[in-house]
A and B are shown apart, each in its own frame.
Chain A
């Protein structure tokens, strides 16, 4: 697979893990059991239900597709650049930019919560990459780093030796994974139905990836202003299961 070859050629601090195929780290990173708190976020799905925007399984499918498109247009550039240049300076620049780009307070807070958790976990788990721990400590001391999710996901992938093609596809995957999971907990679909839906949408997610991958962060844009408005209403919900 071309991704494997690209992964090997991108390895920098990988002497210790050269015996361990990259798949082990990659799959662990994408496994929902990794304790990054992704299950606390619904990507605006909970607000959309309470705004009666979702009243059929087709509505749910459409919603997921629109969120994936927006993930592609808005966040993949950050994942891509971070994977290609996984250094402190690039990370901080991307973090500042994304903080100004996520103008929706609900999604901005979700991003920093998930990013912080992800870096804490990655620094503890992937000890063969000591710069993860170092970068985390330096940035906590700075005080004005927001720890946004997409750039950190890209940084971690890059430092593990994953290619930017893989990291961007992986980011689409975990977004799809987390919304589907939220949909089951919101009783929109059962576990088996969710699994079926996830696989069906994977084909669409791949098409979205092809359309939106490898773009510069200056081109980041949002494509679903309606969903952005609705997600922003999450804080007004009287009863809620999720943080966002």
Chain B
């Protein structure tokens, strides 16, 4: 099964060669400005004139896919360059929805790859999350395959962060089983000097949050599972951990598994509130 997926991936990669979108952000008149903006169907960029405080130098770019979502078989690629001393935010207006193409012979496969090339004093924030689907309607991790790859290279070719998460329905393990009751997984990367304070604060907050959630259950394994009175034995609804990476721990990666989308949103809102001074607006506000 893996062999067939590789073939499909090769097909997709050759389609991506012609970029669907290109953006360049440079300093013009002392302000971060989009100097080049190109996109073709199904991708569109929306660049509002002003987001938040005009004292902050930051460009906000919203990406939009026609139809509001991605259907299996779509391939979209984007190349973005942010010049020295500039700040740019790339985001979507709402969460990207992945639709099953009804009646299509091909299974629902989404392959995402993001490559970031940074230099020593670059700062970077990446938020990457996926939900199990319309989990309130019972659609839980129902798709065939999802792969999200985030690579960060430092000063050219030095690998700094190479992560690829693959969720694939398998014959031995299916995705829902691997996720247990968690409906959302998310990853936040904070890298670079401008985020030093936020990094320290997030690590401390995560440590405090999880220390309260982790404890030895008082009983060992029971052969037939939990009993009703065991709310102390219930899994935490929000699990998060923080790891440093890179030389001198210049980056941190926060990994989250949560039972609700709202809890992840609140977490991001709270932890990234300090970015308002950098971006003009608090993200996820």
Contact = CB atoms under 8 A, between A and B. Distances in A.
A69 B2 CA distance: 13
A100 B159 contact: yes
Contact of A66 (B159, B173, B182, B224): B173
B162 A101 contact: yes
B214 A222 contact: no
A50 to B, nearest CB: 4
Interface secondary structure of A, over-half rule: helix
Given A55-B221, A56-B222, A50 B214 contact: yes
B112 to A, nearest CB: 12
A141 B196 CA distance: 32
B217 to A, nearest CB: 6
Contacts of A73: 166
Nearest to A212: B2
Interface stretch (B24-32, B52-60, B233-241, B272-280): B233-241
A191 to B, nearest CB: 15
Nearest to A47: B214
Contacts of A55: 217, 221-222, 225-226, 233
Contacts of A103: 161-163, 243, 245, 253
A161 to B, nearest CB: 29
Contact of A233 (B221, B234, B239, B253): B239
Interface string A210-238: 01100000001111111111111101111
Interface in B151-183: 159-168, 170, 172-173, 177-180, 182
B239 A51 contact: yes
A101 B233 CA distance: 33
B166 A60 contact: no
29 contacts: A50-B215, A50-B217, A51-B239, A53-B180, A56-B225, A97-B159, A97-B162, A99-B159, A100-B160, A100-B245, A101-B163, A103-B245, A105-B244, A108-B243, A188-B221, A222-B165, A223-B178, A226-B180, A229-B239, A229-B257, A230-B241, A231-B241, A232-B241, A232-B243, A233-B214, A233-B239, A236-B214, A238-B214, A239-B216
Interface of B: 2, 147, 149, 159-168, 170, 172-173, 177-180, 182, 185, 207, 210-211, 213-217, 220-226, 233-236, 239-245, 253, 255-257
